[in-house]
Structure 1
Amino acid sequence: MFSDILWIFFDMGSTLVDEQQAFRHRVRDAIKGTDIGEEQFYQTMISYYQQNKKGDKEAFAFYNLAKPEWHSEDEVLYAGVKECLNRLKGRYRLGIIANQLPGACKRLEQWGILQEFSLIVTSDREGVAKPDPRIFEAALQRADCPVERCVMIGDRLDNDIAPAKKLGFKTIWVKQGLNAYTSPTSQWEQADTVVDKIEQIMALFGV
């Protein structure tokens, strides 16, 4: 399926980057001073994700809590990411298509993987966010590559898989993070391939 691929595009959050501690930090900030337990909030959030809803947003609304700021400093790379990118780079061009707060390139540099990417397209720079197809189209234009020779890898069916597939990308769903609890709701959310961990990508591409 991936024998004719030239470009591999990655999402960042919950794809390359483990956001678990950042989510936990946000929840602790939100429930501070209340009688709501951290695990209680988390289970409520998961139950909404299992209903294919935006679980964090729904849980904050359910408990009538404001959503605190995001702590990017709590983000870390998933195990195997550096090796995976290094191996893939020897055979493919790598890019990023991600919804990110300002400073994404700086964070990639701090994690030691900025140099692995030939193209980085993020919402804070483009002024448009996934699932808007324009952010994917911008990446395709700059890559100067036919869409059928591109792969999109991400953790979200609604933001990563569906919009990319509609444009003609090959797609890989990485079931990491909270969106692992969701399920496809349409043909567009049916990824071409599903993996449980980002490091499994290496075997798919034979590197």
Structure 2
Amino acid sequence: MKNIKCIFFDIGYTLINEDDVWQQRCLEQSQTEEAKLLNLSPEQIYAEIVQASLDYKPQYRTVIKKFGFKNQAPYRQNLEKLYDNANVVLQTLSKIYELGIIANQTDGLIDRLRELGILKYFSFIISSWDYQIMKPNIKLFEIAVEKSGYKASEIVMVGDRLDNDIFPAKQIGMKTIWIKQGFGGIQNPKSDEYIPNIEISQLNDLLEVL
């Protein structure tokens, strides 16, 4: 990739491994009285999340709506884990490019990034909470471009979801790298507009393509 000056990252399943979070969430959801009445197991709830991802639908909100759950199991942020190579990759890239975040997140993202030890690498934090705009709305990406001061063509978006990360970034002229991790990693492009510039399987691969 040529003429890249800035890299924006998604958070979940891009920099952070959420496997433990989702296993616990599905377990806790299956233990609610509503789920018990429907005889739903953690595995069945997890499978519904996978299907929602394949269908380009919001993961947990789709499950909640389908089964009519009024009691939603919490997202346990304490179970999040940085991918093993995240620090090295971010440290290396931050010496060459300006780095940023574009993510659908709840309040307190900056504090979480600080606790994870990676806040220092980012010049721009664009969170859905702060702007009350959620991906895949391209307005969040347009805000990121404006805040960065770079042209869209000088920016690459790295994310795990074709619908939330790759498609909207391409719509405004950003370059795209699809990291095939987590639920988003099993998606299939439904048109040329969802095909990334580059596909990788782990963060370390960024050091080869950038």
Runs (4+) off by over 6 Å: none
Q: Structure 1 stretch 15-24 or stretch 39-48: which is displaced more?
A: 39-48
C-alpha root-mean-square deviation of aligned residues, in Å?
1.6
- Structure-2 change in CA distance of 1:130 and 1:44 (3 Å): closer
Q: C-alpha separation between the residues in 1 aligned to 2:145 and 2:56?
A: 29
The CA deviation string for residues 78-117 of structure 1, in whole angstroms up to 9 with x for no partner, is 1200000000011111111111111101110111110001
The residue that corresponds to 1:39 in the other structure is: 43
- In structure 2, distance between residues paired with 1:97 and 1:149: 16
TM-score (norm 1): 0.91
> Tell me, what secondary structure is at the counterpart of 2:133?
coil
Task: Spell out the pairing of 1:78-157 with structure 2 (5 A cutoff).
Answer: 78-157=83-162
Amino acid at match of 1:31: S
Q: Percent identity?
A: 32
- Confirm or deny that 1:180 pairs with 2:179: no
Q: CA deviation at 1:63?
A: 4.1
1:145-196 CA-partner distances (Å, limit 9, x unpaired): 1111100011111111111101000001111111222111122111111111
CA distance in structure 2 between the aligned counterparts of 1:120 and 1:44, rounded to whole angstroms = 31
- Say whether the 8 Å CA contact 1:79–1:199 is kept in structure 2: no
Q: Deviations over 1:27-54 (max 9, x none)?
A: 1111105242222322343244334444
Equivalent position amino acid for 1:16 in 2? L
Q: Is the 8 A contact 1:52 1:183 kept in 2?
A: no
Equivalent residue for 2:80? 75
Tell me the amino acid that sits aligned with residue 108 of structure 1.
L
Aligned equivalents of 2:87, 2:175: Cα separation in 1: 23
TM superposition score normalised by structure 2: 0.90
**Aligned partner letter, 2:49:** M
CA distance, structure 2, for counterparts of residue 128 and residue 102 of structure 1: 13
Structure 2 unaligned blocks of 5 or more: none
* Distance in 2 of aligned mates of 1:29 and 1:181: 24
Q: For residue 128 of structure 1, report the CA deviation from its aligned partner.
A: 1.4
Inter-partner Cα distance in structure 2 for 1:124 and 1:186: 29
**Amino acid paired to 2:165:** D
Looking at structure 1, the residues matched to 11 and 113 of structure 2 have their Cα atoms a distance apart, in angstroms, of 9
Offset of residue 64 of structure 1: 4.0
Q: Which moved more, 1:152-161 or 1:38-47?
A: 38-47
Q: What is the distance in 2 between the residues matched to 1:51 and 1:158?
A: 10
